[in-house]
Amino acid sequence: MRVVGIIQARMRSTRLPAKILKVVCGRTVLEHDIIRLRAARRLDTVVVATGEDPANNPVAEEATRLGVPVSRGSEDDVLSRFYHAARSHEADVIVRMTSDCPLFDPQLLDEMLAEFLDSQNSSEPFDYYSNTLLGRTYPTGLDAEIFTMAALERAFHEATRQPEREHVTPYLHQNPQLFRLGGMRAEQDNSHHRWTLDTPEDLQLIEAIYDEVYHEDALFTTEEVLALFARRPELIHINQTVEAKAIDPEVKGGLVIRCDLSPRIGAGHFMRCLALAQAWPADRGPVVFAMAEGGVAVASRLADEGCELRVIHAQVGTEQDSAALREMVAEIGAEWMVVDGYRFDRDYLASLTGKACRLLVLDDAGAGDLPPADAVLNQNLHAHPDLYPALPASTRLLAGLEYQLLRREFLGMKRPEDTRGGPARHLLVTLGGGDPRDAAPRILQGLNALPDGDLRIRILTGHDTQSRQALQAAAQASPHEVEVLGPVQDMPAQLGWADLAITGGGSTLWELAYLGVPALVVVVAKNQIPSSRLLAEKGSIRLLGEAATLRRATVVTQVADLLADTAARQAMSVAGRELVDGQGTRRVVAKMVHWSRRRVS
């Protein structure tokens, strides 16, 4: 395979004009670049790719003086410039080097090329490989990227956003569903070093390094430079205050979440989005909840979590709704927006795609007609790629319980080790943030028919005050000790209190499973059926039936059986805890950070 190293160079620089022709130890920076890149043993040739603007003539003249071929192309569409340079030099594999790296490490590049080229003979060849993809561990200025001509050609034809055209490789490393990606990490993290050239302070540091370690007849190594810093630690302060430039200026950081809650739709959408908000890294910008319904009810909760609430003054799912969301995202410069709800149709979601801000759609049913969102999350047990046969190739799919979103208050609880042995005296009823089928009164009637004994019943209701008051009145006539509570802030403690739960088939199912609480499930929405049935097959729950047709006799029989069967409850507890490991939220946020367009150069 023909390996071509392409140095990206031009005269224009906003912070240090003509930086690549600055002279350090008798040679221009570009000459140092070329010497160090040429030293890589696995390269077949080196090319300088510069812009066609006459202002870049000195770059072309310097490269020619040094015997390096020059390829000239678009000033701003650098992806096009790279593509034509690689094509004209018959490259099979391209090494990309920017011209602001006069400390570039050819030995490191050879190690990377060995991994990349070896993979080309395997069943899983890399399309793209770098030493920053897996997180920066090398000093800034030792960056190297390797990719195939086929991958470059695809990016050339498919990349449309300005940062993708200007910075050459974002379309490759930000689309792992399209390209096979790989990376190298250093054994020791030296990412705090800045050895690139973009400012006068950078130039001062590079001159100081060259004065100490440069030799005419031998290339200095990265180890020599690190040893220099060990001897003279004050050098790091020369450019320590320099801030890296954003690759995509539209993306400043932050997370915008579009969801709602109400007695009709419940609180599940909000609660799982809150889990994402809690796990969002504090150094990546604010978290903003955009809500058209239910915001007032959770305003204090969001404030306590350090999140901002902004009200959408539009009918849910309309163009006015999406326009308000787009405006909000642009104002914040958010790197991700999350949309969770069944009233956001394809047109709504399509209006949010193709922006600098990434789009994550939360789905439960296996949407058959999704636009090209950046990612789709289906955290249910039944989730599988087969549910999404028409998913666009550019959309990443996070499917299954390994991505189950749990709030940190659950993760902070110690899961019981006794797997619910002993008598069951505490029975919890919780159907989510709403009970549109009025199943709770029928459940209470069934529980009232149980033999009077040492049974305490606790019923959690949503924000519907009228329904709660009716239940409280009915509870007074129960032969059991019954509490009826409104929205609670200590949900983990409430679930942990229970020996047995009667619950809806929404997100509370997974919280109960994580805590090892056996549950009887009432399906309150059609999209809850697949996961509820699979959970029943796995043995962590038993199905009571659908809320609309739930019979009192079924409640009596099923509850009485489980209250009397300790072994069955223990088996259900173990099965639930094995299904949900509590790491799903962390995994999702890690993916979001990795796929973000928030990058610096």
**Mean pLDDT within 166-195:** 92
Helices (H), 351-438: 408-411
The rounded Cα 214 to chain-centroid distance in angstroms is 43
pLDDT on residue 276: 97
Predicted confidence at residue 438, as pLDDT, reads 80
Mean pLDDT value of segment 424-433:
87
Residue-wise pLDDT for 447-494, tens only, equals 999 986 788 999 998 767 777 888 888 889 899 999 999 888 888 999
314-323: average pLDDT: 97
Report d(CA 542, CA 572) in Å as an integer. Answer: 9
Dihedral angle, C-alpha 155, 593, 102, 31, nearest 10 °: 10
Judged by DSSP in three states, 293 sits in: coil
In angstroms, the CA 342 to CA 362 distance is 9
Across the range 554-574, mean pLDDT stands at 93
Architecture of domain 3-237: Alpha-Beta Complex (3.90)
Q: Which residue has the tokens 């399906």?
A: 523
Of the chain, the percentage scoring pLDDT greater than 70 comes to: 97
Q: Is the pLDDT of residue 506 over 80?
A: yes
Residue 420 pLDDT greater than 60, yes or no: no
Confidence grade of residue 419 (pLDDT, cut at 50, 70, 90): low
Report which of 139, 148, 145 is spatially closest to residue 112, judged by C-alpha positions. 145
Q: Span 344-353, mean pLDDT?
A: 93
Collapsed DSSP state (helix, strand, coil) of residue 48: strand
Q: Which tops the pLDDT comparison, 177 or 199?
A: 199
If you average pLDDT over every residue of the chain, what do you get?
92
The confidence score (pLDDT) of residue 42 equals 95
Q: Are 34 and 62 within 8 A, CB to CB?
A: no
Task: Output the pLDDT for position 434.
Answer: 67
Residue 416 has pLDDT above 70, yes or no: no
Residues 6+ apart with CB under 8 A from 160: 354
State the DSSP H helix or E strand holding residue 258, giving kind and residue range, or none if neither. strand 255-258
Q: Which CATH class is domain 417-579?
A: alpha beta
At residue 274, does pLDDT exceed 60? yes
Asked whether the predicted pLDDT for residue 417 surpasses 70, the reply is no
Q: Lowest mean pLDDT of 125-129, 464-468, 578-582, name the range.
A: 464-468
* Both tokens assigned to 494: 């409430």
Decide if pLDDT at 250 tops 60. yes
pLDDT at residue 291 is higher than 70: yes
Instruction: Give the pLDDT of residue 536.
Output: 93
> Helix or strand or coil: residue 3?
strand
Mean pLDDT value across residues 350-377: 88
> Does residue 333 surpass a pLDDT of 60?
yes
In 351-464, which residue ranges form alpha helices assigned H by DSSP? 408-411, 439-448
Please state which of the four CATH numbers 3.40.50.150, 3.40.50.11190, 3.40.140.10, 3.40.50.300 is assigned to the domain occupying 255-406+584-595: 3.40.50.11190
Q: Considering the entire predicted model, what is its pTM?
A: 0.72
- From CA 134, how far away is CA 177, in angstroms rounded? 16
Domain borders along the chain are 3-237, 255-406+584-595, 417-579
Question: Do 3-237 and 255-406+584-595 have matching folds?
Answer: no
- Facing residues of 290 across strands? 258, 310
pLDDT of residue 90: 98
User: What's the length of the chain?
Assistant: 601
Coil/strand/helix, residue 393: coil
489 near 477, Cβ under 8 Å? no
Q: Is residue 436 pLDDT above 70, yes or no?
A: no
pLDDT at 8 over 90: yes
Q: Which residue has the higher pLDDT, 14 or 79?
A: 79
Q: Would you state the structure tokens that stand for residue 601, as one six-digit string?
A: 């150069």
Handedness of CA 101, 107, 108, 110 (dihedral sign): positive
- Can you tell me the distance from the alpha carbon of 266 to that of 480, in angstroms, rounded to the nearest whole number? 27
Q: What average pLDDT does range 202-206 have in this prediction?
A: 97
Per residue in 83-125, pLDDT (tens digit) is 999 999 999 999 999 999 999 999 999 999 999 999 999 999 9
What is the chain's Cα-based Rg? Answer: 30
CA-based end-to-end distance of the chain: 30
- Kindly state the average pLDDT of the residues 10-17: 90
What does the pLDDT read at residue 461? 87
Which of 233-237, 248-252, 332-336, 540-544 bottoms out in mean pLDDT, i.e. has the lowest?
248-252
Residues 575, 419: Cα–Cα separation, whole Å: 10
The tens digit of pLDDT for each residue in 511-543 reads: 999 999 999 999 988 888 888 999 999 999 999
> Residue 418: is its pLDDT beyond 60?
no
Provide the pLDDT confidence category of residue 172 given band limits of 50, 70 and 90: very high
